Amino acid sequence: MNKSSGIRELEFIALMAFLMSNVALCIDTILPALTEIGNSLEVANNNYLQLVIIVVFMGLGVGELLFGTLSDSVGRKPIVFVGVGVFVLASFLIVWAPDLKLLLAGRFLQGFGLSAARSISIAIIRDTYKGDRMARIMSFIMTIFILIPMVAPLLGQTILDAYDWKAIFYFQLFFIGIVIIWFWLRQRETLSKEHRIAFSKRLFTDGLKEYIRHKKAILYTLTSGLIQGAFIAYLGSSQQIFQVQYQKVEEFPYIFGGLAIAVGVSSLLNGSMVLKYGMLKLIRLSLFLSILSSSIYLVFFLNSTNPTLVVLIVFLAIQFLTMGFTFGNLSALAMEPIGHIAGIGAALFNFMSMTVAVAVAVMVGMFIQGTVIPLFVGFFLSSIFAMLLIKFAQSS
């Protein structure tokens, strides 16, 4: 029994995973529909459709600053409910949008609303666990969480075949409705009243000053942003790569889901290995493998056309296997010294890492036109700089 949450550990892991998975569902179910959205809204440049994915992450980063900060003052649960309300309104804005600009505004607000569930989930986990045990719980949560990207594109394609792209957003509303009822009934408030910070104009600035004092937290946050950025670049361009460059329209959901398994497997392995080897050793090993595999790809294909689909899938699978050993571990390392301001800390961690990630994703994504090379350049450079930041963090 998890005393802080009032439910057993297995249910706690499942609930946090499904609460966080609304973000993945919001992003991945819509991937097969990007071409239809572009046709429906008369979008001329396919690269602009990547923004339908990327602006969600922008909303996530901005929203977490507000919601994470407020959660340290009013508690965790009320903030989740407010965020879900924003998400619902944003979803209706999207289905009524007459053009791409208004749809992107709705997608930004969807991310803004979902940021509450995402950041508060991390704060709840940090309220309940710490250290390697927190990393272990995060890894198991990521293992369940990754099931959504495995099935979401296929689910989105199924809905698209039966109805139209707008029906995908109605399904997202149904899913988050089920999860929020579960959360309301079963999850207790993890931030007791005596540990809440009185709301004031200085609440955020004081939290920011406290966060900045911890150099390692900042460095781990930036490292996480680099790794996430390379992954978001893949998410934003995956439909363009597989359906446009490789002409695998019907096969795309299965390819995407199959590659997602790699992240799930490594996240599961991380949960079993982190207590034995420690977070830092696993992160360094994963970054080394990422650098090695991406450099091999660039050596062989830098001045040539795209390789066969099988070759590409193998190299992408290696990259995603390494990511499962970084996501949960980096967030645990960054949150470890700031557990006393977990709400604001989670907000700042997610905002700073997402700001870096979106910048990386946009820079990489805009170059993906007819070749996958920019994606692997992104993997290579992100891992190199991440390795350097880890080294600086350990020497500080």
Cα distance between residue 342 and residue 120, in whole Å: 9
Residue type, 170: Y
pLDDT digits (tens, 9 = 90+) for 351-389: 889 899 999 999 998 888 888 999 999 999 999 999 999
pLDDT digits (tens, 9 = 90+) for 229-244: 999 999 989 999 999 8
Instruction: Tell me the pLDDT tens digit for each residue of 63-122.
Output: 988 887 788 888 899 999 999 999 999 999 999 999 999 999 999 999 999 999 888 887
Please answer whether residues 86 and 176 qualify as being in contact, where contact means their C-beta atoms are separated by less than 8 angstroms.
Answer: no
Closest by CA to 152, choosing from 40, 11, 23, 15, is 23
CA–CA gap between residue 68 and residue 81 (Å, rounded): 13
C-alpha–C-alpha distance, residues 268 and 142, integer Å:
8
pTM: 0.82
Tell me, what DSSP letter sits at residue 196? P
| Cβ neighbour number for residue 395 with a 10 Å cutoff | 6
Q: How many whole angstroms from its chain centre is CA 120?
A: 14
pLDDT of residue 4: 47
d(CA 319, CA 259): 10
DSSP 356-377: HHHHHHHHHHTT-SS-SHHHHH
169 pLDDT band, cuts 50/70/90, is: very high
With a CB cutoff of 8 Å and minimum separation 6, the contacts of 177 are: none
Say which residues have a Cβ less than 8 Å from residue 365's Cβ, sequence separation at least 6.
47, 50, 54, 233, 236, 237, 374
